[in-house]
A and B are shown apart, each in its own frame.
Chain A
Amino acid sequence: MTSASMLSTWSAIGGVAALAITGEVLIAAAMHKLGDLDIIRAKSGLPGAIRAVLASPLFLLGAFCMALNFFALLFTLSIVDLSLAAPATASLTYIGNAIAAKLFLHENVDRRRWLAVLFVSIGVVLLSH
């Protein structure tokens, strides 16, 4: 693999992971802000819960990032093998999500959770072998 093609491979993979991380963190922030969906559903029914979710700008922004992520993944699969793209994007997304959850969502990512993220990332790569 030439260094130019390696650069395009890894920037495509990095781009897919970055969009997934942004989308997931925005959606998690939106749901955190909304509060327990089960309670909302009990109070205003399923249509009320769906309305509450769709009215959240954070959610809409997150969903937009996830849609971009989908198309970026399709593009990446046209230049990178699935056997590299799938585990690499999944692992990077898990690690990035943990860092972003700590920085932006202020989750208490303790040693147990870091270890879980590490195990999941390696596990996903091993599963694709």
Chain B
Amino acid sequence: MTHRLKASQYAILIAVMLTASVGDTLLFRGMEQIGTVDLHHLGLLWQALFNPYVVSGIVLLIGFFASYMTALSWADLTFVMPATAFGYVVVALLSRFWLHEHLSLYRWAGIALIVCAVGFVAGGPSRTEHSDEHHEIDLMDSGAGR
């Protein structure tokens, strides 16, 4: 069964892609500034909570969780999964064009594969339903199947 996505649902999927990858990058950047945390320096974790990069990373990851769950409430797990993977592509492209890091040929190949995967899934339905199975369960519930 094909469901046409609404504009707001596309926005949720884009939020899933961006919040996870940018949130991870911000956390990484913040923890780099804080330094290595081990058992003898647990106080650093408290300090991390006041680092603007860490705080904005946590806010974005909470946003990710909310948008990911919203997406799962109307789409299949196998439909949303490639969207989360697309976040890696966003991070790689950000590091290339914003931080001017070098991307190896392997990374470009990885980007191409993930973009293709998103294309495959986006062309199909967002939620697949097994009407036969639901029917079977309904029959069992009513006792008529026995």
Chain A interface residues toward B at CB < 8 A: 24-25, 27-28, 31-32, 34-38, 53, 90, 94, 97-98, 101-102, 105-110, 112-113, 115-117, 119-120, 122-129
User: With A117-B117, A119-B116 given, is the CB distance from A129 to B106 under 8 Å?
Assistant: yes
Alpha-carbon distance between A101 and B117 when the two chains are bound, in angstroms: 17
Alpha-carbon distance between A113 and B127 when the two chains are bound, in angstroms: 12
User: With A112-B123, A117-B117, A124-B88 given, is the CB distance from A129 to B104 under 8 Å?
Assistant: yes
Alpha-carbon distance between A36 and B12 when the two chains are bound, in angstroms: 13
**Which residues of the partner chain A approach B106 to less than 8 Å between Cβ atoms?**
126-127, 129
Alpha-carbon distance between A24 and B130 when the two chains are bound, in angstroms: 20
**Which residues of the partner chain A approach B85 to less than 8 Å between Cβ atoms?**
90, 94, 120, 123-124
Alpha-carbon distance between A9 and B40 when the two chains are bound, in angstroms: 26
Q: Say yes or no: B117 contacts A123, CB within 8 Å.
A: yes
Report the contact-size class of chain B (Cβ under 8 Å from the partner): 35 or more
Chain B interface residues toward A at CB < 8 A: 8-9, 69-70, 72-74, 76-79, 81-82, 85, 88-89, 92, 104, 106-107, 109-114, 116-118, 120-121, 123-124, 128-130, 133
Q: Say yes or no: A108 contacts B77, CB within 8 Å.
A: no
Alpha-carbon distance between A53 and B106 when the two chains are bound, in angstroms: 40
Q: How far is the CB of B91 from chain A (nearest CB, A)?
A: 9
- Identify 11 new A-B residue pairs, CB closer than 8 A, beyond the known A97-B81, A116-B121: A31-B72, A38-B8, A38-B74, A107-B77, A116-B81, A116-B116, A119-B113, A125-B110, A126-B106, A126-B110, A127-B111
Q: Say yes or no: B120 contacts A126, CB within 8 Å.
A: no
Which residue of chain B lies nearest to A111 when distances are taken between CB atoms in the complex? B120
**Which residues of the partner chain A approach B130 to less than 8 Å between Cβ atoms?**
106, 108
Alpha-carbon distance between A113 and B74 when the two chains are bound, in angstroms: 17
From A37, A107, A126, contact of B78 by CB (8 A): A107
**Which residues of the partner chain B approach A116 to less than 8 Å between Cβ atoms?**
78, 81-82, 116-118, 120-121
From A37, A97, A127, A129, contact of B70 by CB (8 A): A37
**Which residues of the partner chain B approach A28 to less than 8 Å between Cβ atoms?**
72, 76-77
**Which residues of the partner chain B approach A34 to less than 8 Å between Cβ atoms?**
73
**Which residues of the partner chain B approach A112 to less than 8 Å between Cβ atoms?**
120-121, 123-124
Q: Say yes or no: A32 contacts B73, CB within 8 Å.
A: yes
Q: Say yes or no: A120 contacts B133, CB within 8 Å.
A: no
Q: Say yes or no: B124 contacts A113, CB within 8 Å.
A: yes
User: With A31-B73, A110-B124, A116-B117 given, is the CB distance from A123 to B110 under 8 Å?
Assistant: yes
5 sampled A-B residue pairs with Cβ under 8 A? A31-B69, A34-B73, A37-B73, A107-B128, A119-B113
